Structure 1
Amino acid sequence: MTGNRAIQHPSCRVPILTWWEGIYDQVFVALHPFYRIRKAEMLVSLAGSEIYEGVLPCDDRPENFGDRIKSRGDAVSWAEVHQAVAPDLPRSEVYLAVWLLACIGYQDRAGIGLQMRLAAYCQENQLYLPEDDGLPAILEPVVQDFLSCFGCRHATAWDEFRHYSDTVPLSVFRKAEPCYLLPKSITSSAVWGLHLPDPGVLMTWGFDGTEAIIAMTSRALEIAKPENFFEGWYADAGTYEDVFNPVEFLHREQ
């Protein structure tokens, strides 16, 4: 284990809690939500419900698509989709299928039939799959609410490989603001890490991930609990950075 682990994304070769042993006390896996986008006209149906835009394919999204998600996106939980599509199947099986569909596509090991049902449900309900990689637009306002609990007005934002950072006011993540991008990052301009050294909070994202990993000191947890802001769960001693793959799959790949 090399480098400044207080800001580094964990290695895939050791459990998350082992990676941050002696630095952070607990780690929360925060899922990127599914989402739909309200129409700009703010029209409502006769029943009083929101009217949503249709789902755009990946190759037909405008340049300001992230801003549209941030300002008019409505989050939908994985639990809701699980219950609607495959309530008879265990969470681990359904979540693996969602993650692979969002990041890689159809995979035999996820069950093609299950993935087709998930895709059809999303299309029928104007629902986008969870975004992968760095901080997604739909979560920026939630991140602002969460990090503001710690009495800090600024956070250090990092790029993917921690080559470049910027000190940013948390206000840039408010819903009314455009999506925040790191202008000098070497790879993606998305935010891949957010760090508050005091009281000790790191939010970090990994390649082909549909989750934020939130590492916290006990002192930080006394101030704010991530489960009050994000859908997810706490890591245990056997949780790896690759949170959806079964442990036996990870060991076989390594």
Structure 2
Amino acid sequence: MPMLTWWEGIYDQVFVALHPFYRIRKAGVSVSPAGSEFYEDVLPCDDRPENFDDMIKSRGEAVSWAEVHQAVAPDLPRSEVYLAIWLLACIGYQDRAGIGLQKRLDAYCQANRLYLPEDDGLPAILESVVQEFLSCFGCRHVTAWDEFRHHSDTVPLSVFRKAEPCYWLPQSITSPAVWGLHLPDPGVLMTWSLDGTVAVIAMTSRALEMARPENFFEGWYADAGTYEDLFNPVDSLKREQ
């Protein structure tokens, strides 16, 4: 079911916010100068320190999908490149994404000390952006949900500030990350999903008058044909149905 149909009568617009690529500044470097020597080397998944998410939150620099697309494959359509990025970030090399393209993306990330977009719940690189965005609605607290919506917590927005350590839900059943954020007034819902590299932001018209998500996140508004399975071609979804 298309996103807008699913939330019809509840939310008026849905924005797809991409989890960015990111690099990590070396300690003591507060502004991003030119040159890769100012950034930490990319660490493999099995060699990351316990405070890695806090490092990302405090010293991470976001890089857009559009920038990577332009640098690696400007001749290819966005849909093809974004499918390759999503699969590389969540699953790895896949024939349907074009392994040659994925290898070029991987090589570019290694050469430029870039991490691929994080998958699943709220990534550390976006915590402070989420705090800035939600602060526009005049609230001080937000309801945070775990992956399967079994546990929620009312938390102050201040926990997402860049100066704070990463926030984890204390009693989540699976991942301790935040998988949902809700402001019933004026009507904002942010959700994340397994093997996803986006935040889906559903908003009422009143909320949109107070803050526009495109001023905070890279992404686009859903149209009548936008499904939650964002990156797979729509005709493949119809075949599966």
TM bucket (normalised to shorter chain) is: over 0.9
**Structure 1 consecutive aligned stretches of length 4 or more whose deviation exceeds 4 Å:** 43-50
Alignment match, 1:94: 81
- Report the AA paired with residue 192 of structure 1: W
Per-residue CA deviation, residues 48-83 of structure 1 (Å, 9 max, x unaligned), is: 887000100111111110000000000000000000
Contact 1:192 1:204 in 2 (8 A): yes
**SS of 1:183 mapped into structure 2:** coil
> In structure 2, do the counterparts of structure 1 residues 61 and 46 end up closer, same or farther at CA, with 3 Å as the change threshold?
closer
- Report the AA paired with residue 22 of structure 1: G
* Aligned-partner Cα distance in 2 for 1:138–1:113: 28
* Aligned-partner Cα distance in 1 for 2:32–2:228: 43
Alignment match, 2:195: 208
Taking only aligned residues, the RMSD between alpha carbons, in angstroms, comes to 1.6
Size of the aligned set, in residue pairs, is: 241
Query: Aligned match of 1:146 in 129, 133, 136?
Result: 133
> In structure 2, do the counterparts of structure 1 residues 214 and 121 end up closer, same or farther at CA, with 3 Å as the change threshold?
same
> In structure 2, do the counterparts of structure 1 residues 182 and 118 end up closer, same or farther at CA, with 3 Å as the change threshold?
same
Establish whether residue 179 from structure 1 lines up as the match of residue 154 from structure 2. Answer: no
Structure 1: any 5+ residue segments left out of the alignment? 1-13
Instruction: State the 1:172 CA deviation.
Output: 0.3
Instruction: State the 1:47 CA deviation.
Output: 6.5
Query: Aligned match of 2:149 in 162, 169, 182?
Result: 162
* Aligned-partner Cα distance in 2 for 1:51–1:110: 32
TM-score (normalizing by structure 1): 0.92
Alignment match, 1:4: none
Instruction: State the 1:42 CA deviation.
Output: 2.3
Contact 1:205 1:213 in 2 (8 A): yes
**SS of 1:180 mapped into structure 2:** coil
- Report the AA paired with residue 150 of structure 1: F
Instruction: State the 1:44 CA deviation.
Output: 8.6
Contact 2:79 2:231 in 1 (8 A): yes
Contact 2:145 2:178 in 1 (8 A): yes
* Aligned-partner Cα distance in 1 for 2:157–2:166: 12
Alignment match, 1:9: none
Instruction: State the 1:253 CA deviation.
Output: 2.8
Establish whether residue 223 from structure 1 lines up as the match of residue 192 from structure 2. Answer: no
> In structure 2, do the counterparts of structure 1 residues 47 and 184 end up closer, same or farther at CA, with 3 Å as the change threshold?
closer
Contact 1:38 1:50 in 2 (8 A): no
Establish whether residue 115 from structure 1 lines up as the match of residue 102 from structure 2. Answer: yes
Alignment match, 1:15: 2
Establish whether residue 82 from structure 1 lines up as the match of residue 69 from structure 2. Answer: yes
**SS of 1:27 mapped into structure 2:** strand
